[in-house]
Amino acid sequence: MTQPLRPGVDVNEANAPINLIETEESRVLKAALGHRAIVLVGMMGAGKTSIGKRLAQRLAVPFNDADAEIERAAGMTIPEIFASRGEAEFRLGEQRVINRLLGEGASVLATGGGAFMNADTRRRIAESGLSIWLKADFDVLMRRVKKRSNRPLLQTEDPEKTLRDLIDQRYPTYAEATLTIHSRDVAHEVIVDEIISELSAHLGIGLPMTKTSSSDLVKVDLPGRAYDIVIGSGLLESAGERIAALGKGVSAAIVTDETVAQHHLAALESSLRKADIRFAPIIIPPGEKSKSMTMLTKVVDGILEAKMERGDLVVALGGGVIGDLAGFAAAITRRGMRFVQIPTTLLAQVDSSVGGKTGVNSDHGKNLIGAFHQPSLVLADVDCLDTLSKREFAAGYAEVMKYGLINDAPFFNWLEAHHEGVFAGGPDRVHAISTSCRAKAAIVMRDEREEGERALLNLGHTFAHAFERIVGYDGARLVHGEAVAIGLCCAFRFSQRLGLASGQDASRIERHLEKVGLPTNIQSIPGWNAGSEQILEAMAQDKKVKRGRLTFILARGIGDSFIAPDIDPSDVRSFLDEHLAS
């Protein structure tokens, strides 16, 4: 028997008692689950125990860890059981323990990596439980299991190969689980949110997102350049206080555009005044055309004229154009000033304000002049989005979707179910923004200067940048996020043409984009008359070109993108010809 969940019981840490606090959410979910246990399956290192504990807490049910139970029943550790009795004996014991734990009713049960491979155990789980596969990528698993030496199956000469072989062997069976959740390096709460949301969709109970509050904090933990991304309501009002905390007696040059100034500058100024911060606004015309060398000179002059010193701050109040331009101005003025991002478009809140890419466009192409320069703080005030046009909000949504398409299929599923909430505002919006920021922060922390994985963030962008260039960055015809929406469709249709992704996935993406009012094909760009040759020419100036070959981000499916560094331009040409003719 497992230890009953009562305070003061001396049980193994893994099965330690948790406080069972009922909420409306837990009551509704438990009523739908009945006596079924939620059974977490997946590889070692997928997070079954840590996520399982939090999930149990959220559902207010007991948590059981099959491995911990086996160890307790045998009075020895799993490596000892393997060594003294062999794997076959261990599997039999495991089957018995899982059988028993399943009989105990509503609970969360974390199982060992091999448990679900047993057909009897799978059948038993299907009868008395609901299985969830925590699916993690090889790299994530390897990093996590390296930290622990108690994995008997990995005690081989080549643990990497062993892990890859286990993945190949087991993933087709794990895929039989009722639900699949992508386990990755994000806060456990995020994964738990996704499990709850998938569960509620599966059980047909349409649970509102009750957990996500109206604020969140994401940390970008770069050595020596760590910073916080604060997401929530009313942040403009507290900006002064937060900026003052960055340095005693700092002054601030606020860079913003005319439209944003009209809506939000007064609130920021009043907050800075309250915090006794000297400031000087630098206001420029709105639009992509302002991301230019001419405007950069004006901004730098403005900062210097306002007598900002090296220890002072540049504050970027606006969309991605302002963030990129002001960030670059900060990077080069007085050989580098610190800067704060206060993003006011959805696109800037979920993408451009995070990660430190700053720069301006050149006549030769987009973002060709720039620097990596991380902000010291990002304040994403969701209230600012209330003044944004529906068109600009939708454009930012394309970048939100991008994160699901890159490596997070459950997030894409969630967006399909919750996009109305994201557009309406409230907790769903905050959840979408923080999930996006977490995804971007995780990639930036692993590859700050885009030497590898960070390129995934360019999914759809090689196409998008070419379209923007061809329309001369004319926002009336095409804004960046709309170009990205079409670019995402092109990336998936191109992947389909190369035999990588299914047409169903591409259609699903197009349907979702259409639902939120975003364009999905090149011909829908007003006044479009360029052919494949012109698009290829525009792509050739992209930073992703090496010796005539193009780097594209392609996909094997939703949530499964990868970098394809050696694409033959003639394949792109044929694809574009077909696409333009369709």
Ligand X SMILES: NC(=O)c1ccc[n+]([C@@H]2O[C@H](COP(=O)([O-])OP(=O)(O)OC[C@H]3O[C@@H](n4cnc5c(N)ncnc54)[C@H](O)[C@@H]3O)[C@@H](O)[C@H]2O)c1
| Site residues for ligand X per CB under 6 A | 257, 259-260, 263, 286-288, 291, 318-322, 324, 344-345, 347-348, 351-352, 355, 357, 367, 384, 387-388, 392, 395, 479-481
Q: In the bound complex, what is the minimum distance in angstroms from residue 398's beta carbon to ligand X? A: 10
Residue 193 or 288 having the CB closest to ligand X: 288
Strand partners, 149: none
Catalytic residue among 36, 264, 438, 461: 461
**How would you classify the pairing of strands 227-232 and 215-220?**
antiparallel
CA quadruple 101, 105, 108, 112: dihedral, nearest 10 = 20
**Beta pairing class for 252-257 and 279-284:** parallel
Can 458 be counted among the known catalytic residues?
yes
Spatial separation of the C-alpha atoms in residues 457 and 551, rounded to whole Å: 13
- Minimum CB–partner distance for residue 194 and ligand X (Å): 24
For residues 35 and 390, which CB has a smaller minimum distance to ligand X in the complex? 390
β-partners of residue 360 are 369
CB of 196 to ligand X, least distance (A): 30
Is 264 marked active-site?
Answer: no
CA separation, residue 302 to residues 320, 376, 574 (Å): 20, 21, 48
Catalytic-role residue among 458, 482, 493, 510: 458
Nearer to ligand X, 184 or 264 (CB): 264
Euclidean distance between CA atoms 116 and 110, whole angstroms:
11
The nearer residue to ligand X, 52 or 343, going by C-beta atoms, is 343
Active site residue 35: no
Structural element, H or E, at residue 577: helix 569-581
From residue 497, alpha-carbon distances to 16, 137, 174, 527 in Å are 52, 25, 29, 27
Which residue number, 457 or 501, has a Cβ lying nearer to ligand X? 457
Q: How far is the CB of 518 from ligand X (least distance, A)?
A: 13
The question of whether 87 is a catalytic residue gets the answer no
Least separation, in Å, of the C-beta of 324 and ligand X?
Answer: 5
Distance CA 413, CA 396 (A): 18
96 is an active site residue: no
Catalytic residue among 6, 248, 335, 547: 335
Q: Which two tokens stand for residue 362?
A: 């050149």
Identified catalytic residue from 36, 135, 357, 431: 357
Choose, from 450, 468, 482, 510, the residue flagged as catalytic: 450
Sequence-separated (6 or more) residues with CB below 8 Å from residue 275 = 240, 241, 243, 244
Q: Decide if 307 is catalytic.
A: no
Marked catalytic residue, from 36, 264, 431, 465: 465
The nearest distance, CB 87 to ligand X, in angstroms, is 48
Q: Which of 48, 366, 419, 480 is catalytic?
A: 480
CA distance 464 to 488: 8
Amino acid at 256: T
What pairs with residue 64 in β-bridges? 109
- Only one residue has tokens 């995020």, namely 190
Catalytic residue list contains 361: no
Distance CA(118)–CA(120), nearest Å, equals 6
**CB-closest chain residue to ligand X:** 320
* 454 counts as catalytic: yes
**Is 546 annotated as catalytic?**
no
Residue 270: φ, ψ to 5°? -65, -35
Q: Nearest approach, Cβ of 475 to ligand X (angstroms)?
A: 7
Nearer to ligand X, 152 or 287 (CB): 287
Residue 503 CB burial class (10 angstroms; 0-12, 13-18, ≥19) = exposed
Nearer to ligand X, 67 or 324 (CB): 324
Catalytic annotation, residues: 335, 357, 399, 440, 450, 454, 458, 461, 465, 480
